[in-house]
Amino acid sequence: MNTETITAVRSVWTAALEMSRQVDMGTSERIMSVSIVEADYDTKPFLALRMKLITAIQNCYEEEALKKLEGGNVKEESDSIELTIAEATYLDVLIAVTAFTHALTLKQDLWRAISSMYTKHRKEKEAL
């Protein structure tokens, strides 16, 4: 599967996670009304994207906590997520450029990733 890496700070991933819940309430409500098993995070696109966001956020929190324990300079950490073209497009449509601090930067990264994946697809298609 064709993916691209997007890197953002914890607060950006947290905002994206929160916005995905708000925009897709129908799916969120359906998810909460049924049982979910761990394998669903591998097979259901909405859950797979949420798991990627949750994992990135958790990784940042853990890194920040470790730096606090070590007595170092604690700043908001960043993490990278491998997104498919569908996931990147969903986040692009979901997030307004003025939605939160660094939203425009995230959208520019999403646009780069979407363009790159599409260009790769077109080149592969033309090579056949």
3-class DSSP state of 104: helix
CA 19 – CA 33 distance, rounded (Å): 20
Angle between helices 25-32 and 45-69 (to 10 degrees): 90
Residue 89: how many other CB atoms lie within 10 Å: 17
Tokens of 66: 């470790």
Task: Name the domain count of the chain.
Answer: 1
Residue 89 sits in which domain range?
3-127
Nearest to residue 82, comparing CAs of 1, 3, 2?
Answer: 3
Q: What's the pLDDT tens digit per position in 59-117?
A: 999 999 999 999 888 888 999 999 999 999 999 998 888 888 899 999 999 999 999 99
pTM here?
0.78
